[in-house]
Amino acid sequence: MLSSQDIMDKGQNYVMNTYGRFPISLVKGQGTFVWDADDKQYLDFVAGIATCALGHSAPELVEALTEQASKLWHVSNLYWIEPQVELAEKLVELSGLGKAFFCNSGAEANEAAIKLARKYFYRKKQNRYEIISFKDSFHGRTLATVTATGQTKYQEGFAPLMPGFVYAEYNDISSVEKLINDQTCAILVEPIQGEGGVRPSDPGFLQALSQLCQREGILLIFDEVQCGVGRTGSFFAYQGYDVTPDIVTLAKQLGGGFPIGAMLASNEAASGFAPGDHASTFGGNPLAAATARRLVKIVSQPAFLKEVRKSGQALHDKLTALTDNRIAEVRGRGLLIGVELTVEVKGLIDLCIQKGLLLVGAGPKVVRFVPPLNVKQIELSQAVAIFREALQEWAP
Ligand SMILES: Cc1ncc(COP(=O)(O)O)c(C=O)c1O
């Protein structure tokens, strides 16, 4: 077996240089813990960037995946498969929406939503194509989703970007109203901005957007790629805000670490697509759908979601109790929590990693805590203890 150093050396030589990776190489995981190639153990509060909802190697998901692997791996969407239709049925039932489309990632789910919004109005013979998204949002890295992303650092060098996107101020309804015109087809928004710094929407903002969309006859799209599938303590984050969109996108946690994305839409919005309008060879394939079907069944149970809310509150309380005057704010919902500091956090995260705690930033000054949803109380205490110790030692 290769050592950590050997793996990193090969990676530098052969893997394209698109990621700013931490200098560790992970080889196995169990629950909330992972181990590197030199057998060092880490408490994982990144969880594959809010993805491994049940931790690493969750027995229920291993069972669902391997059971399916011994039956049928892949056939394409030319045929019907039971795990996919059952997953769609469950997501439709949970969301209050009408139909599901499956793909492989968050960016693809948002691409699908953008295309559906445009096609919906095209079929109605209305020239509406413009999408309003928000400053500091993040929607993915394809050309359309990076254009929808309201952060120029992700767009630089990729011009010309996609036409038909404009950006409003998050939590400012009047800034949205000013951008609406006869070409507007949809508003695309994260109920909680994730990559942009773990910023929850203000109470009433999503409802105001919903009313605005109804008044103007345009579609409301929620990007729940990061905040959906139980992460905030309700299955969909929007359920905590008492509002339902026309379209919602999911990925990350949906497969508990196995790649799958989904776009759900009301029956009305879904009528924008007809056979041949959109497709994905791998989207919702047997392995992904069987794994996601089992994950959704577990995560959507009320008792499971109640525990997420309890753990989220406990983590929030522990972080709020830290007394370091560089901490500006602790915010988030459920187990999507950001600690904003007055200074850049890269060095602090590096120190936590050295001490055996994996964390990731959300923008330059925010440390993000997104452990598995079934994280244990003792692990929350251990993580905060390491974070506190790192804070005490850290002098940037
Ligand atoms: C809100 C949101 N949308 C979309 C994406 C893109 O997802 P993916 O990396 O799976 O394409 C992300 C990824 O971080 C995200 O947080």
How does pLDDT run across 188-218, given as a tens digit for each residue?
999 999 999 999 999 899 999 999 999 999 9
Ligand 1 binding pocket, CB closer than 6 Å: 105-107, 110, 138-140, 190, 194-195, 223, 225-226, 251
Please state the atom number of ligand 1 nearest to the C-alpha of residue 195: 16
Query: How far apart are the CA of 252 and the centre of ligand 1, in A?
Result: 7
CB-CB contact of 300 with 259 (8 Å):
no
Query: How far apart are the CA of 255 and the centre of ligand 1, in A?
Result: 14
- Given the structure tokens 């009528």, which residue do they identify? 271
Mutate to test the pocket of ligand 1, among 114, 133, 189, 252 (most ligand atoms within 8 A of CB): 252
pLDDT in tens, 52-71: 999 999 999 999 999 999 99
Query: How far apart are the CA of 195 and the centre of ligand 1, in A?
Result: 8
Sign (positive or negative) of CA dihedral 137, 380, 373, 266? negative
Q: pTM (2 decimals)?
A: 0.98
Question: Does residue 293 register a pLDDT over 90?
Answer: yes
Query: How far apart are the CA of 250 and the centre of ligand 1, in A?
Result: 9
- pLDDT at site 190: 98
Distance CA 260, CA 46 (A): 19
Average pLDDT of every residue of the chain = 97
Query: How far apart are the CA of 249 and the centre of ligand 1, in A?
Result: 10
pLDDT in tens, 330-369: 999 999 999 999 999 999 999 999 999 999 999 999 999 9
- What's the number of CA atoms in the CB half-sphere (13 Å) around residue 203? 0
Please state the atom number of ligand 1 nearest to the C-alpha of residue 227: 1
The residue contributing the CA closest to ligand 1 atom 3 is: 139
Question: Does residue 396 register a pLDDT over 90?
Answer: no
Average pLDDT over residues 257-286: 98
Query: How far apart are the CA of 107 and the centre of ligand 1, in A?
Result: 6
Q: Which domains does the chain have, with CATH numbers?
A: 4-58+302-393 (3.90.1150.10), 72-299 (3.40.640.10)
pLDDT in tens, 32-47: 999 999 999 999 999 9
Sign (positive or negative) of CA dihedral 310, 250, 291, 98? positive
Mutate to test the pocket of ligand 1, among 226, 247, 258 (most ligand atoms within 8 A of CB): 226
Query: How far apart are the CA of 261 and the centre of ligand 1, in A?
Result: 10
Determine the straight-line distance between the first and last CA of the chain, rounded to whole angstroms. Answer: 37
Average pLDDT over residues 300-315: 98
Average pLDDT over residues 302-310: 98
As a whole-number percent, the residues of the chain with pLDDT over 90 amount to: 98
Query: How far is residue 354 from each of residues 43, 196, 269, 360, 384, measured CA to CA in Å?
Result: 11, 25, 49, 13, 15
Query: How far apart are the CA of 117 and the centre of ligand 1, in A?
Result: 19
The residue contributing the CA closest to ligand 1 atom 4 is: 139
Please state the atom number of ligand 1 nearest to the C-alpha of residue 107: 11
Give the chain as a 3 state SS string.
CCCHHHHHHHHHHHCCCCCCCCCCCEEEEEECEEEECCCCEEEECCHHHHCCCCCECCHHHHHHHHHHHCCCCCCCCCCCCHHHHHHHHHHHHHHCCCEEEEECCHHHHHHHHHHHHHHHHHHCCCCCCEEEEEECCCCCCCHHHHHHCECHHHCCCCCCCCCCEEEECCCCHHHHHHHCCCCEEEEEECCEECCCCCEECCCCHHHHHHHHHHHHCCEEEEECCCCCCCCCCCCCHHHHCCCCCCEEEECHHHHECECCEEEEECHHHHCCCCCCCCCCCCCCCHHHHHHHHHHHHHHCCHHHHHHHHHHHHHHHHHHHCCCCCCEEEEEEECCEEEEEECCCCHHHHHHHHHCCEECEECCCCEEEECCCCCCCHHHHHHHHHHHHHHHHHCCC
Query: How far apart are the CA of 225 and the centre of ligand 1, in A?
Result: 6
pLDDT in tens, 132-153: 999 999 999 999 999 999 999 9
pLDDT in tens, 148-170: 999 999 999 999 999 999 999 99
Please state the atom number of ligand 1 nearest to the C-alpha of residue 252: 10
Distance CA 176, CA 172 (A): 7
CB-CB contact of 230 with 254 (8 Å):
no
- What residues pair up with 305 in beta bridges, in sequence order? none
Mutate to test the pocket of ligand 1, among 141, 195, 250, 333 (most ligand atoms within 8 A of CB): 195
